[in-house]
Amino acid sequence: MSSLRDLETRIARDLSITDYPARSWVPARRYRDEPVLDVLIVGAGQGGLAVTFHLLRESVGNIMLIDQRKQGEEGPWTNFARMMTLRTPKYLTGPDLGIPSLTPRAWYEAKYGAEAWDRLDKIPRETWHDYIGWYRSVLKLPVRNEIRLTRIVPVDDLFEVTLMPTDGGGEETRYARKVVLATGTEGSGRWSIPPLVEEKLPRDRYAHTAQPLDFNDLAGKKIGVLGAGASAFDNAATALEHGATEVSLFARRQSIPAINPFRWMEFSGFLHHFADLNDVQRWEAMVKVYSFNQPPPRDTLDRVRRFPNFRLHLGSPWIEAGMEAGRVWAKTPDGRHEFDFVLVCTGTEVDLARRPELAGFSQHIALWRDRYTPPPELAHPKLTAHPYLGSAFQFIEKVPGTAPFLKNLHNFTFGATPSMGLSGASISGMKFGVPRLVQGITRDLFRADAALHQASLAAYDVRELVDDPWAS
């Protein structure tokens, strides 16, 4: 632990050395006799924490960071992520914002030793969660936990936001100039459950794998898994490891994808400048990326292969489903199957109208379908539902002039991918996405207060040369 204390001492010195310029510069504002936040950040996972840190380094301190979960439970890592390790290379950086002593490697070596880092293949999920918790602690980031954003209402040139304690306490109303939604994978819609499941099966016989779930309850049961992404295999393995008698995974695809487009995208040019491409270029690239899907890592496949009671059904979409004699049944092209419980691993549905905080004005937000019509051979209905974002992750008006407040609402979620590339909820893109977002926020704040800064300059009369005969 002495090495970790030494690292934290070095971080404090690094932050002190690089604290330039340190002067607070955003004029304080009040509205209806209430103080106004410069920025409200919603979501204290890795993205929200990094955004907060960067804003503080840019001397924007009048901010609030909230998360609906208890401290230590933010993000997916201890909630519904069930992979053994991260799917990204261990040498990635991002939350550190270019400070070497804050990198995952510096923390890991201080805690476990340099040789342990050399032996490490990929960072274990729980280890990454510990790193993020340490990052929050060592930087003393101001997080308010167990607070949920329930509503955003534009008022004049601000947002009136309603905050609700998760313990059922009284509502709190705050005002903010900017709002950043750092709400993760489902932050632009909701977790997707196929209608066949939602309409035909009792609610106690299935669960989306993003829900709280005690896998001990699946011991001794026959489980069906719907979906073929990496998370589907992770959840299948977790069920088997907790004593499920048999797990059958069903995929529409005829084979598991072998190409991972994320590995291609992980170079500085793409990560930094994808958002600067034109619509035609961005659309063509994203159609290609989404056509691959992301394959399960080899170690994930090996994890399920260890179990002789794992069944993989390729080319087997569910055609019908229902209940009979107390069991779930599903019909696929290869026959009829029965289960005790179903794990739904079908990802997310991008639909801004599903977000309660956006419900009052989602109809004014431009989607990709409102800004670009691809040629027929590149049609992709799911991509068209994603928000069409500006250069700093801000929402854009569907009809110019109808919702000018949208420029102050920033979508730093997985739904930003077609517009911004790997960023938002992606570890791989944080190194580039966080600075792009924060630069846009600080640019807007400075421009909005340009008249005040000009007046301050005009009135500036602090003398550096006092009582010098040559100075006027």
**Gyration radius of the chain's alpha carbons:** 25
Residue 110 burial class via C-beta count within 10 angstroms: exposed 0-12, middle 13-18, buried 19 and up: buried
Q: Going by C-beta distance under 8 Å and a sequence separation of 6 or more, which residues neighbour residue 243?
A: 216, 218, 219, 220
HSE (CB half, 13 Å, CA atoms) of 107? 23
Give pLDDT, residue 1.
57
Q: What is the pLDDT of residue 94?
A: 87
**What average pLDDT does this structure show over 131-154?**
97
What integer pLDDT is reported at residue 114 of this predicted model? 96
CB 163 within 8 A of CB 339: no
| Neighbouring residues of 20: CB distance < 8 A, sequence distance ≥ 6 | none
Question: What is the dihedral sign for C-alpha 392, 394, 399, 404?
Answer: negative
Mean pLDDT of the chain: 95
Token pair belonging to 95: 């939350």
Are the C-beta atoms of residues 412 and 394 closer than 8 Å to each other? Answer: no
- Percent of the chain exceeding pLDDT 70 equals 100
Q: Is 176 helix (H, G, I), strand (E, B) or coil?
A: strand
Place of tokens 């699946």: 218
At 6, the pLDDT band (50, 70, 90 cuts) reads very high
Domain ranges in the chain are 2-188+349-453, 193-258+295-346
Confidence at residue 328, expressed as pLDDT on a 0 to 100 scale: 97
> Which residues are paired to 66 by β-bridges?
42, 144
- Contact status, residue 189 vs residue 351, Cβ threshold 8 Å: yes
DSSP string computed for 63-123: EEEEESSPTT--SSTTTT---SB-SS-TT---TTTT-GGGSHHHHHHHHH-HHHHHH-SS-
What CATH code would you report for 193-258+295-346? Answer: 3.50.50.60
* Topology alike, domains 2-188+349-453 and 193-258+295-346: yes
Q: Estimate to the nearest angstrom the gap between the alpha carbon of 77 and the chain centroid.
A: 12
Whether the per-residue pLDDT at 258 is higher than 70: the answer is yes
* DSSP element (H, E) containing 443: helix 430-448
Residue the block writes with tokens 């600067």:
276
The predicted structure's pLDDT at residue 168: 81
Question: How close are the terminal C-alpha atoms of the chain, in Å?
Answer: 58
- What are the tens digits of pLDDT across the range 350-403? 999 999 999 899 999 999 999 999 999 999 999 999 999 999 999 999 999 999
Q: What are phi and psi of 17, to 5 degrees?
A: -65, -35
- With pLDDT > 90 as the criterion, what percentage of the chain qualifies? 89
- Find the mean pLDDT for residues 118-128: 96
Phi-psi region of 424 (alpha: psi -120 to 50; beta: other; left: phi over 0): left
232, 345 Cβ separation under 8 angstroms: yes
> Looking at residues 334-356, what average pLDDT do you find?
95
472 pLDDT higher than 80: no
Spell out the residues 6+ positions from residue 99 whose beta carbon is closer than 8 angstroms to its own. Answer: 11, 14, 15, 18
In this prediction, residues 48-77 reach a mean pLDDT of 96
Assigned token pair, 119: 């032996």
For domain 2-188+349-453, say whether CATH 3.30.413.10 is its number.
Answer: no
The pLDDT value recorded for residue 292 is 82
